[in-house]
Chain A
Amino acid sequence: MRRVSKTSPRSSIYNSNVYGLDTTGIWTCLTCGICPIECPQQVDFLNFIKEERAGKEPLEVAHLGVFTEFNELSSKLNGTKPEKSDLKIGYFPGCVDQLGLFLHDVKTDFGEITTSSLKLLDKLGIKPHILNMKCCGHDVLWQGKKDVFEKLKDHNKKYIKESGIDTLVTSCGECYRTFSKDYDLGIKVIHTSELLDKLGLKINAEVTYHDPCRLGRHMGMYDAPRKALSANGVRIKEMEHSKENALCCGVSSFMNCNEQTKALRIARMDEAAATGAKTLITTCSKCLAHFNCLKTEKDATKKYDLDVVDLTVFLARQLDGRK
Chain B
Amino acid sequence: MKGSVAVVGGGIAGIQAALDLADSGYKTYLIESKPSIGGVMSQLDKTFPTNDCAMCILSPKLVETARHPNIELLGYSDVKSISGKAGDFNVKVVRKARYVDETKCTGCGTCTEKCPSKVSDEYNAGMSKRKSIYIPFAQAIPRVATIDATHCLFLTKGKCGVCKKVCGPKAVDYEQKDKEIELNVGSVVIATGFKPFDPSILKNYRFDHPDVITSLQFERLLSASGPTQGHVTKQSDGKVPKNVAFIQCVGSRNPRINRKHCSSVCCMYATKESIIAKEHDSELDITIFQIDVRAYGKNFEEFYNRAQKEYGIKYINSRPPEVIVNPDNSLSLKFEDFNTGDLVAKNFDLVVLSIGLDPADSTQALARSSGIALDDFGNIATTIENPVETSVAGIYVCGVAQGPKDIPDTVAQASAAASKAAALLSGERGTLIKERAFPDEKPLSPEPRIGVFVCHCGINIGSVVNVPNVVEYAKTLPGVAHAQEMLYACSSDSQVTIKDAIAKNNLNRVVVASCTPRTHEPLFQNTCREAGLNPYLFELANIREHCSWVHMKEKDKATEKAKAIVQMAVAKSALFQPLYKQKVSLINKAIVLGAGVAGMTAALDIANNGYHVTLIEKEKELGGMLREMTELYDGKRPADVLKDLISKVSANKNIKIMNEAKLLKVEGYLGNFRGVVLANGNEITVDFGAAVVATGARNFEPSGLFNYGSDKRIVTQAQFEKMLGTGVNAKTITMIQCVGARSKEREYCGRTCCVDAVKNAIRIKKANSSANVYVLYRDMRTYGVNEKMYETARDLGVLFIKYDADKPPKVQDSTVVVHDSMMNEDIEITSDLVVLSTPLVAGENEEINQLFKIPLDKNKFFLEAHPKLRPVDFATDGVFLCGSAQAPKLIDEAISQASAAASRACTILSRKFIETEGAISVVNEAKCIGCGTCVTVCPYNAPSLYDATVKVEEVTYTTKKSKINPAACKGCGSCAAACPAGAITAQHFSSKEIGEAIDAFDKGVKSIFIDKGVVEVTV
Contact B930 A297 (CB under 8 A): yes
Cβ 8 A contact of B955, one of A63, A64, A263:
A263
> Considering the chains assembled together, what is the distance between the CA atoms of A2 and B957 in angstroms?
13
Q: Which of B160-168, B623-631, B944-952 contacts A (4 or more CB under 8 A)?
A: B944-952
List A contacts of B959 (CB < 8 A).
259, 262, 301
Q: Shortest beta-carbon distance, B975 to chain A, in Å?
A: 12
Q: Which of B802-810, B825-833, B932-940 contacts A (4 or more CB under 8 A)?
A: B932-940
> Considering the chains assembled together, what is the distance between the CA atoms of A299 and B932 in angstroms?
7
30 pairs, CB–CB < 8 Å, chain A vs chain B: A2-B953, A2-B954, A3-B954, A3-B955, A4-B952, A4-B953, A5-B952, A5-B953, A6-B953, A63-B980, A64-B977, A64-B979, A64-B982, A73-B1015, A78-B1013, A105-B936, A105-B978, A261-B929, A262-B930, A263-B950, A263-B952, A266-B955, A267-B955, A293-B980, A297-B931, A298-B933, A298-B945, A299-B935, A300-B932, A301-B947
CB within 8 Å for A64 and B1019 given contacts A2-B954, A297-B931: no
Residue of A nearest to B929 (CB): A262
Q: Shortest beta-carbon distance, A7 to chain B, in Å?
A: 10
**A77 proximal to B (CB < 8 A):** yes
Contact A298 B935 (CB under 8 A): yes
Q: Shortest beta-carbon distance, B961 to chain A, in Å?
A: 10
**B437 proximal to A (CB < 8 A):** no
Contact with B along A281-308 (1 / 0, CB 8 A): 0000000000001100111111000000
A residues 1-38 touching B (CB-CB < 8 Å) = 2-6
Residue of A nearest to B947 (CB): A301
**A204 proximal to B (CB < 8 A):** no
A residues 56-110 touching B (CB-CB < 8 Å) = 60, 62-64, 73, 76-78, 101, 105
**A258 proximal to B (CB < 8 A):** yes
**B960 proximal to A (CB < 8 A):** yes
> Considering the chains assembled together, what is the distance between the CA atoms of A262 and B952 in angstroms?
10
Residue of A nearest to B932 (CB): A298
Which of A4, A6, A63, A298 has the most CB atoms of chain B within a 10 A radius of its CB? A298
Contact A4 B955 (CB under 8 A): yes
**A260 proximal to B (CB < 8 A):** yes
Contact with B along A241-284 (1 / 0, CB 8 A): 00000000000000001111111001100000000000000000
Residue of A nearest to B962 (CB): A298
> Considering the chains assembled together, what is the distance between the CA atoms of A101 and B980 in angstroms?
14
CB within 8 Å for A266 and B957 given contacts A105-B936, A259-B950, A297-B932: yes
Contact B933 A77 (CB under 8 A): no
Contact B955 A2 (CB under 8 A): yes
Contact B982 A299 (CB under 8 A): no
> Considering the chains assembled together, what is the distance between the CA atoms of A78 and B950 in angstroms?
46
Residue of B nearest to A256 (CB): B981
**B769 proximal to A (CB < 8 A):** no
Residues of B bordering A, CB below 8 Å? 926-927, 929-933, 935-936, 945, 947, 950, 952-955, 957-960, 977-982, 991, 1013-1015, 1017, 1019
Cβ 8 A contact of B960, one of A6, A63, A263, A299:
A299
Contact A259 B958 (CB under 8 A): no
Residue of B nearest to A73 (CB): B1017
Q: Shortest beta-carbon distance, B697 to chain A, in Å?
A: 32
Q: Shortest beta-carbon distance, B980 to chain A, in Å?
A: 5
Contact B952 A297 (CB under 8 A): no
Residue of A nearest to B928 (CB): A259
List B contacts of A297 (CB < 8 A).
930-932, 960
Q: Shortest beta-carbon distance, B67 to chain A, in Å?
A: 34
Which of A6, A101, A262 has the most CB atoms of chain B within a 10 A radius of its CB? A262
Chain A contributes a number of interface residues (CB within 8 A of B) equal to 32
Contact with B along A120-131 (1 / 0, CB 8 A): 000000000000
> Considering the chains assembled together, what is the distance between the CA atoms of A243 and B952 in angstroms?
25
Residues of A bordering B, CB below 8 Å? 2-6, 60, 62-64, 73, 76-78, 101, 105, 257-263, 266-267, 293-294, 297-302
List B contacts of A298 (CB < 8 A).
931-933, 935-936, 945, 960
Contact B1014 A257 (CB under 8 A): no
> Considering the chains assembled together, what is the distance between the CA atoms of A298 and B960 in angstroms?
9
List B contacts of A101 (CB < 8 A).
1019
Cβ 8 A contact of A258, one of B932, B960, B981:
B981
List A contacts of B977 (CB < 8 A).
64
Contact B929 A257 (CB under 8 A): yes
Residue of A nearest to B1013 (CB): A78
Q: Shortest beta-carbon distance, B77 to chain A, in Å?
A: 52
Contact A301 B960 (CB under 8 A): yes
> Considering the chains assembled together, what is the distance between the CA atoms of A257 and B927 in angstroms?
8
List A contacts of B954 (CB < 8 A).
2-4
Q: Shortest beta-carbon distance, B679 to chain A, in Å?
A: 29
Residue of A nearest to B961 (CB): A259
Q: Shortest beta-carbon distance, A260 to chain B, in Å?
A: 5
Contact B936 A62 (CB under 8 A): no
> Considering the chains assembled together, what is the distance between the CA atoms of A4 and B960 in angstroms?
18
Q: Shortest beta-carbon distance, B1009 to chain A, in Å?
A: 14
Q: Shortest beta-carbon distance, A271 to chain B, in Å?
A: 13
> Considering the chains assembled together, what is the distance between the CA atoms of A73 and B953 in angstroms?
38
Contact B1019 A3 (CB under 8 A): no
Residue of B nearest to A78 (CB): B1014
Contact A62 B1019 (CB under 8 A): no
CB within 8 Å for A62 and B952 given contacts A78-B1014, A293-B931, A301-B958: no
Q: Shortest beta-carbon distance, B951 to chain A, in Å?
A: 9
Q: Shortest beta-carbon distance, A11 to chain B, in Å?
A: 15
List A contacts of B931 (CB < 8 A).
293-294, 297-298
Contact A257 B981 (CB under 8 A): yes
Which of A63, A294, A302 has the most CB atoms of chain B within a 10 A radius of its CB? A63
Cβ 8 A contact of A3, one of B936, B947, B953, B1013:
B953
> Considering the chains assembled together, what is the distance between the CA atoms of A261 and B930 in angstroms?
12
List A contacts of B982 (CB < 8 A).
60, 62, 64, 257
Contact A299 B945 (CB under 8 A): yes
List A contacts of B926 (CB < 8 A).
259
List A contacts of B953 (CB < 8 A).
2-6
> Considering the chains assembled together, what is the distance between the CA atoms of A300 and B927 in angstroms?
17
Contact A258 B935 (CB under 8 A): no
> Considering the chains assembled together, what is the distance between the CA atoms of A105 and B945 in angstroms?
17
User: Besides the contacts A63-B980, A259-B926, A262-B957, what 13 more A-B pairs have beta carbons closer than 8 Å?
Assistant: A2-B954, A5-B952, A60-B982, A260-B952, A261-B929, A262-B930, A262-B950, A263-B950, A294-B931, A298-B932, A298-B935, A299-B932, A299-B945
> Considering the chains assembled together, what is the distance between the CA atoms of A86 and B1019 in angstroms?
33
Residue of A nearest to B1015 (CB): A77
List B contacts of A294 (CB < 8 A).
931
> Considering the chains assembled together, what is the distance between the CA atoms of A6 and B959 in angstroms?
21
Which of A64, A77, A293 has the most CB atoms of chain B within a 10 A radius of its CB? A64
Q: Shortest beta-carbon distance, B426 to chain A, in Å?
A: 42
